[in-house]
Structure 1
């Protein structure tokens, strides 16, 4: 019992928390001023496993030393030369809110366990719904753990509306969705989880800007009907993960309205532009969607995971899951917003709304717009630098903060592909920058997602210099 008493000691917590905040503040400073020279201290999976296996074998030890090792051996998203995957360097105030919610540990399925987080979730969801252009009186939103789960939940809601018997009786017909061939892999995964199979995922080709060819929707729809498929939803990407290209929403909305289909917009990454007057034109027509997904943990600076799913019609949010759970709520059919378990997969859901609200309470919406516009402007600068360099080439001019480019001093496709793959491997091994790669039409491209607003044009120029020095 003495061990448990000490483990829960308020004084021990006070000391440990102060020590950790000091460590994190030191890390943040060294990342921002780049005295921390390594963005990613890469080691192979086996090397890292052996290190932590040995550490575990030592038994209990110094907590500060453990935290220091975790910090130093992790990928440093707050470093201005982190330009890898689409994960935000979270605002410190949101991280503090994470410490708060982690200790309080209130779930959210029922109101009594989410006295604060349920009302805050409604407030931030209503804000996002308004920015999307939905009627705040009739729309509804929720938070869930990531874009994958949010997209699956949206498609389940679409199926519940268009094929309402499936939840109880199972599927008696071949259902299908239509998506861009550049859609995020999680949409494909969601469809397979729902039992649609390969045939139920109708992939629409893209144009030379990697946007859905909306003029082909009718032909593919008629072919699906001829094949005995019942299409119930179309998914628009805002934006695609590989290239940051935005599907043109209005013609997709026209098609869905004409044919009585559900329009879902996967705006996990790029839907954040609804907060920016300068860039919201990229999602013109998003207010016509039946459901929209936006990740708060990408361009909105919230720690992962925190994803919004917003429905144009409130009632659709409650159609997805119909199950009795007498130990949670008395009436499954009531549309009570304060029992979030009726609308999401999660029961014991994290208090993610606290992190979002902390940002808004501290800085207001303006900081969201500033971040989006800063990241986009850096991408425009970098694209210009690449386009003006004779030994580099762009895949396409970026619409978002994602830029695909490659080192191409020659025209031999196989040689250029190999060269760019080697460049990416060397960058990873040396760790002074962190970027990723993608393949577009058989060509290997280096890919940056500029996620850190403290990245500068000097850092972007230095990346090109670094690459040239490797070849």
Structure 2
């Protein structure tokens, strides 16, 4: 059970597990596309009435499209009361935990059974650097425990054996990148970066909302901002493709509330409000009616 706007990896995981997309149930969401505890409870009740077994509820801390945060605390309470596994996709928003100012947006994440967190999103590492965290490490060990005559010889040796905890047999030590980022900048340094990105996104929202010819999809909760020209004849995909080809700006688009929006993610410490102003001017120049 997840929101309709959950990351596409949910469908991919269902396919890899052999469940199929039809086994994904979408719970009701609010105007931001975020799950609600009431929606999750209703979806669980519907599944029980249909005789279906729910493997997990997947909540999101920083949705990919618009950066919305699900209310983790009440969702966790619903899941715990029914004995349902709660997984939190904090791939994007996990970096907020470094900030004393922002971490309340993830209140309740400590109640999750598992969490995924991408350090390359907001924690100043290069890709790929991802952690999967478990409330009880035995869950991970039991999921991947197996025997192979050509592996797993030295079970009695001290140390950490990745072979028992990953899908891949051979895997790079991704955590080293995270360690080096923390060693270089410390938690306080990463917190300053996260807070600066969120503040610049807030300023960009105020700037765009003040323009008569632009509109924003939502007030940003994170460092993701979706906006568009008010002119309904403008093709956002064409604008985005032209900007990418010319190499001056990097942005994407997304569908939200039935409309196509330009989407920016503020992650570079070199970004300034002047960068956003220049982007708006460039977009206007491509639209004669703007």
CA positional deviation for 1:431 = 2.1
CA positional deviation for 1:336 = 6.8
Show the counterpart of 1:342.
Answer: 164
Match runs of 1:174-193 below 5 Å: 178-193=1-16
What TM-score does the superposition give when structure 1 sets the normalisation length?
0.58
Measured in 2, the distance between the counterparts of 1:314 and 1:374 equals 34
Give 2:68's match in structure 1, choosing from 221, 230, 245. Answer: 245
Show the counterpart of 1:292.
Answer: 115
Give 1:194's match in structure 2, choosing from 5, 14, 17. Answer: 17
Give 2:262's match in structure 1, choosing from 421, 430, 446. Answer: 446
SS of structure 2 residue aligned to 1:318: helix
Greater Cα offset, 345-354 or 374-383:
345-354
Measured in 2, the distance between the counterparts of 1:259 and 1:382 equals 42
Show the counterpart of 1:361.
Answer: 183
Show the counterpart of 1:389.
Answer: 211
Aligned residues: 287
Show the counterpart of 1:204.
Answer: 27
Q: Does 1:370 align with 2:192?
A: yes
Q: Does 1:218 align with 2:34?
A: no
Show the counterpart of 1:456.
Answer: 272
- Name which one, 1 or 2, has greater alpha-carbon Rg: 1
Match runs of 1:35-50 below 5 Å: none
SS of structure 2 residue aligned to 1:393: strand
Residue 123 of structure 2 contacts residue 181 of structure 2 at CA under 8 Å; is this kept in 1?
no
Residue 223 of structure 2 contacts residue 267 of structure 2 at CA under 8 Å; is this kept in 1?
yes
Residue 36 of structure 2 contacts residue 75 of structure 2 at CA under 8 Å; is this kept in 1?
no
Measured in 2, the distance between the counterparts of 1:292 and 1:430 equals 38
Show the counterpart of 1:429.
Answer: 245
In the alignment, structure 2 segments of 5+ residues that lack a partner are none
How big is each residue's C-alpha offset from its partner over 1:157-199, in whole Å with a ceiling of 9 and x where there is no partner? xxxxxxxxxxxxxxxxxxxxx1111110001211221122233
Measured in 2, the distance between the counterparts of 1:301 and 1:312 equals 25
Higher relative helix content? 1
Q: Which one has more relative contact order, counting CA pairs under 8 Å at least 6 apart?
A: 1
Residue 321 of structure 1 contacts residue 342 of structure 1 at CA under 8 Å; is this kept in 2?
yes
Q: Does 1:468 align with 2:284?
A: yes
Measured in 1, the distance between the counterparts of 2:117 and 2:109 equals 12
CA positional deviation for 1:466 = 1.1
Match runs of 1:50-449 below 5 Å: 178-330=1-153, 338-408=160-230, 410=231, 412=232, 415-416=233-234, 418=235, 420-449=236-265
SS of structure 1 residue aligned to 2:244: helix
Measured in 2, the distance between the counterparts of 1:189 and 1:236 equals 16
Aligned CA distance change for structure 1 residues 287 and 335 (closer, same or farther; 3 Å): farther
CA positional deviation for 1:363 = 2.5
Aligned CA distance change for structure 1 residues 301 and 384 (closer, same or farther; 3 Å): same
Residue 318 of structure 1 contacts residue 335 of structure 1 at CA under 8 Å; is this kept in 2?
no
Measured in 2, the distance between the counterparts of 1:353 and 1:219 equals 38
CA positional deviation for 1:306 = 1.1
Measured in 2, the distance between the counterparts of 1:397 and 1:308 equals 29
Residue 181 of structure 1 contacts residue 212 of structure 1 at CA under 8 Å; is this kept in 2?
no
SS of structure 2 residue aligned to 1:467: helix
How big is each residue's C-alpha offset from its partner over 1:309-342, in whole Å with a ceiling of 9 and x where there is no partner? 111112122111121034332477x897611110
SS of structure 2 residue aligned to 1:460: helix
Give me the CA root mean square deviation.
Answer: 1.8
Q: Which runs of 4+ in 1 moved over 6 A?
A: none
CA positional deviation for 1:300 = 0.9
Show the counterpart of 1:43.
Answer: none
